[in-house]
Amino acid sequence: MKENQDITLMSGSVQGGKVSRRGFLKGSALAGLSLGVAGTGLVGCAPKQQAGDELADTGEGATSAVGYQYEAETAEGEWHHSACSRNCFDTCMIMSKVVDGRLVQVCGDKNNPYTAGGLCVKTQNYVDYVYREDRILYPMKRTGKKGPGCTFERISWDEAIQTITDTWKQIIAENGGEAITWFRYQGNQGAIHRRCLEPLFFKMGATYHEASMCNNGYVFSLPYTTGSITVMRAEDIANKDLYISWSHNPAAGSLHTMKFIKEMHKAGGKIAVVNPVRVPECEWADLHVQLLPGTDGAFALGVAKYLMDAGKIDEQFIAEWSIGYEDYARSAAEWTADKVAAECAIPAEQVGQFAELLWENRENACLKTGLQLGRRNNGGMSHISIKMLTGLIGHPECYFNMTSSGGYGVNTAANLDMFTETVPSESSDASTIRNYSSPALGKVLTGVNYGEGHDFATNPIRSIMIFGGNPMVSNPNQNLVREGLEREDLFTVVHDIFVTPTVEYADIVLPAPTFFEYEEFNGGYGHNYDCFNEKVIEPLGECKDNLELCNLLGQAMGYNDAVFNRTYDDMRALFLDGKDYTYDELVKNGWYDVAPKTWEAQLEEGFGTPSKKFQFACDELEADHGTRTVIYTPDPESASQAPELFAKYPLYLVSPSAKEFLNGVFGNMEDNNLLFGESYVFLNEADAQARGISDGDEVTVFNDRGSLSRKARIVEGVMAPGTACTYKSTWSTVTGVENVNCVTTDSQADFGRGVAFQSCLVEIAKA
Ligand SMILES: Nc1nc2c(c(=O)[nH]1)N[C@H]1C(S)=C(S)[C@@H](COP(=O)(O)OP(=O)(O)OC[C@H]3O[C@@H](n4cnc5c(=O)[nH]c(N)nc54)[C@H](O)[C@@H]3O)O[C@H]1N2
Ligand SMILES: Nc1nc2c(c(=O)[nH]1)N[C@H]1C(S)=C(S)[C@@H](COP(=O)(O)OP(=O)(O)OC[C@H]3O[C@@H](n4cnc5c(=O)[nH]c(N)nc54)[C@H](O)[C@@H]3O)O[C@H]1N2
Ligand code: SF4
Ligand SMILES: [Mo]
């Protein structure tokens, strides 16, 4: 690829902003400590190292969260406001320094209470990320085979657009728009660029892609239970008496929250963690419920029964503010502590311990659930079972998932409604046209007929455009996705910043800019700020952003609609419509604090459910999911539901976030890979012993869907017996070993057509 790129862009002050050797060594020494304790930060020093002191001490031009030191600390240059557009809870407010049109330094905005001057370990090389030699700078077309070993040659934008639109026009004439589809995921969380290309495909009548891999288990369970509860902000955690972390690991996924958790811990607050993995927060925890993956629903019902039996429930709230309590109580009745203990593989007394902590601290608690919980076959129901507890104690306001959430940010910048005139919202019924949700990508591309409305055999997909997505890293059942992308008769267009493992399958590659190269508005799902991202440098090479690309393609298709002629002025006006601040105010400050509702105001409106009440049970749940209230159904991929499968593959594998990568982003960065270290699979001591596996052994993780080469990592107490963990995100093209999604299932989760990544039985053997 290198010969196609403008070498002059890579010379000169490219070193500016790269971490110095000294700085990097300091960083890796700290990371080494973490690896030494538990490997890539699963336990041990992560809170100390990342969350507290270092973050608090960082500031402009200072050392970063892991002790990096920038070489380009220079008094020259101007500072501008940027916002990290990654799909990350934290959406950091960034200060970017530019000298003579070049980005030379980035650091966290110290004026913002959430970012507080510190970025994360992943982004310490943001300047390098922008100017890396492997940036795609020009449109390219494929010259060899698809996949590893692919070759491309540079073409002009004119040729690229002409080739793409000629092919699409021909396909539409021959097979209709449905023979074309798109795959957009969340690589860019910005309000403008996240979805702005989608109107093009809607206009073409293309097969509709419903993006469902992330938070559907949570979002689609809301309407049955509470609607979104939007009163908590991350900063509030510092003043809580109890913080519950349920299926969440902020030390990796929402780093900036760690300082508030640490603050509350120092002030004597209690912490409870519910997670099959001993995550860093456990160091501070009073209780760690290390249950079997997928058994959360049983544990929550057990806690409910304990509280009901002890009379530790808020009868007034239940009477005035809820419906369906009797159904709920009947469902919980069978979940004795002993039964819970057997299902979850935990000590029975933990049910009561957890329940007592919750009841004692109910006036001032935070129950934070992560999103991983929902990415399994019983995941939506697990979310519901946990939410029910907050109604039982009369404090639904303690429930916290994403800030101001009703999907992505009701009152934050990630405003999906900007495109609803031309694209139906993701939650709407797009069934008038052929559609698929993310997990089905492999089936769609390989021409499977998987049910009514999903016949991809009769009228196969002939072209796909992928943008803001990296399915060869992030999608489940990757071997099937690969089989589809390998099809010689599939015309694939990929728009991305780097040659990801997905780009290797493209017929036409289009160069995308980084967020430093265009204007954007962002809103975090971990904080309550609307953020401004200034265009601080010109796009590198011939990169074109999603908005520009939409206009180019739309016009070349011959469409005259206004949506294919949008300017940044149009986007600003759309975005600012209904906001409490002006553009100038946002630009000047870089962010705007969108205060969440108070609990009183929320109650005045009632709950966002059909009854306006907290719904312990409801008809809608029965109509859609066959039960009026929450029930616990074991995961279909589990010992009790699939005994034959379990006999072959008796380990429950989870694949959560790594702190060094953000989904597939940074998978190509040397320093991130160095900090990440080897691709490990974490095992329980007893499971390892039973298989003759020692720490550091080369092992194979496998099931019927595929296999992974890993190094075994065995650290006492990190994994519960019968469970294993390996991280998402890695690029097989960089690590040389398979990405975890070679073994994950593409079966649909129970709510919102999501993905059951975490419903994954495997066996592990010495290689
Ligand atoms: N096993 C397992 N798999 C998982 C998960 C898991 O927990 N376990 N998590 C799932 C979750 S929660 C998610 S959200 C998905 C994420 O899946 P993806 O959204 O596919 O992941 P990303 O790597 O964040 O982004 C994809 C690509 O978008 C590109 N990109 C960034 N900005 C732009 C832009 O402006 N324009 C264009 N055209 N491209 C851009 C990036 O360079 C990147 O290559 O992965 C899922 N996959
Ligand atoms: N560093 C980093 N940060 C990220 C991301 C990343 O890739 N890297 N991804 C971002 C994205 S797209 C998203 S959606 C969010 C995801 O946010 P989360 O879903 O909160 O993140 P994870 O860390 O993947 O998973 C949280 C925890 O769930 C646990 N877990 C897995 N299965 C179960 C279960 O059955 N029960 C219980 N109780 N726990 C379980 C895992 O052990 C893990 O510690 O994070 C975002 N932040
Ligand atoms: S990846 Fe997340 S934590 Fe890191 S700088 Fe971006 S928003 Fe902040
Ligand atoms: Mo996600």
Residue 545 has pLDDT above 70, yes or no: yes
> Can you list the domains of the chain with their CATH numbers?
2-131 (2.20.25.90), 140-212+426-593 (3.40.50.740), 219-407+599-625 (3.40.228.10), 643-766 (2.40.40.20)
**Beta carbon of 665 within 6 Å of any ligand 1 atom:** yes
pLDDT of residue 422: 57
Q: Going by CA atoms, what residue is nearest to atom 8 of ligand 3?
A: 92
pLDDT of residue 695: 97
**Beta carbon of 185 within 6 Å of any ligand 2 atom:** no
Ligand nearest to the CA of 251: 2
Region for 66 from its dihedrals, namely left if φ exceeds 0, alpha if ψ lies in -120 to 50, beta otherwise: alpha
User: How many Cβ atoms from other residues are within 10 Å of residue 637's Cβ?
Assistant: 24
* Cβ 607 vs Cβ 613: under 8 Å: yes
**Beta carbon of 744 within 6 Å of any ligand 1 atom:** yes
Q: Going by CA atoms, what residue is nearest to atom 5 of ligand 3?
A: 119
pLDDT of residue 203: 87
Identity of the amino acid at 344: C
Q: What's the rounded Cα separation, in Å, for the pair 616 and 332?
A: 11
Q: Going by CA atoms, what residue is nearest to atom 44 of ligand 2?
A: 249
Nearest to 662 by CA among 184, 86, 15, 103: 86
* Confidence label for 46 from pLDDT (cuts 50, 70 and 90): very low
To the nearest whole number, what is the mean pLDDT of the chain? 87
DSSP3 helix / strand / coil % (the chain, rounded to 5) = 35, 20, 45
pTM for this entry: 0.92
Helix H segments across 284-378?
296-309, 315-321, 325-333, 337-344, 349-360
**By mean pLDDT, which of 268-277, 396-405, 568-577, 694-703 is the weakest?**
396-405
What kind and span of H or E run contains 385?
helix 379-392
Cα 106 to middle of ligand 3, angstroms:
12
pLDDT of residue 623: 97
**Beta carbon of 248 within 6 Å of any ligand 2 atom:** yes
pLDDT in tens, 302-346: 999 999 999 999 999 999 999 999 999 999 999 999 999 999 999
Task: Give the Å distances, CA to CA, from 436 to 39, 140, 628.
Answer: 38, 29, 28
Q: What's the rounded Cα separation, in Å, for the pair 66 and 672?
A: 12
Read off the pLDDT of each residue in 25-31 and give the average, rounded to a whole number.
32
Cα 88 to middle of ligand 4, angstroms:
8
Nearest to 352 by CA among 263, 287, 276, 421: 287
In the chain, % of residues over pLDDT 70: 86
pLDDT in tens, 126-175: 999 999 999 999 999 999 999 999 999 999 999 999 999 999 999 999 99
**Beta carbon of 187 within 6 Å of any ligand 1 atom:** yes
* Cβ 394 vs Cβ 317: under 8 Å: yes
Q: Going by CA atoms, what residue is nearest to atom 7 of ligand 3?
A: 91
Residue 101 has pLDDT above 90, yes or no: yes
**Beta carbon of 468 within 6 Å of any ligand 1 atom:** yes
Place of tokens 């933990």: 350
pLDDT of residue 173: 97
What six digits make up the tokens of 291?
Answer: 């249950």
pLDDT of residue 431: 55
pLDDT of residue 282: 96
What six digits make up the tokens of 156?
Answer: 């002009």
The pick from 194, 278, 281, 657 for probing ligand 2's pocket by mutation, whose C-beta has the most ligand atoms within 8 angstroms, reads: 657
What six digits make up the tokens of 388?
Answer: 């029910």
Q: Going by CA atoms, what residue is nearest to atom 24 of ligand 1?
A: 187
Ligand 3 atom closest to the Cα of residue 524 is 7
**Beta carbon of 589 within 6 Å of any ligand 2 atom:** no
pLDDT in tens, 552-608: 999 999 999 888 999 999 889 888 888 889 999 999 999 999 888 889 998 999 999
**By mean pLDDT, which of 36-50, 200-214, 373-387, 511-525 is the weakest?**
36-50
**DSSP secondary structure letters along 654-676:** E----TT-BTTBTTT-HHHHHHH
Non-local CB neighbours of 623 within 8 Å, separated by 6+ positions: none
* Confidence label for 45 from pLDDT (cuts 50, 70 and 90): very low
DSSP one-letter code for 617:
B
Residue 452 has pLDDT above 60, yes or no: yes
pLDDT of residue 468: 97
**By mean pLDDT, which of 25-29, 613-617, 735-739 is the weakest?**
25-29
**Beta carbon of 539 within 6 Å of any ligand 1 atom:** no
Query: Please, what sign has the CA dihedral across residues 358, 361, 364, 365?
Result: negative
Read off the pLDDT of each residue in 469-490 and give the average, rounded to a whole number.
98
Cα 317 to middle of ligand 1, angstroms:
41
pLDDT in tens, 711-767: 999 999 999 999 999 999 999 999 999 999 999 999 999 999 999 999 999 999 999
Ligand 3 atom closest to the Cα of residue 108 is 5
pLDDT of residue 199: 87
Identity of the amino acid at 365: A
pLDDT of residue 420: 54
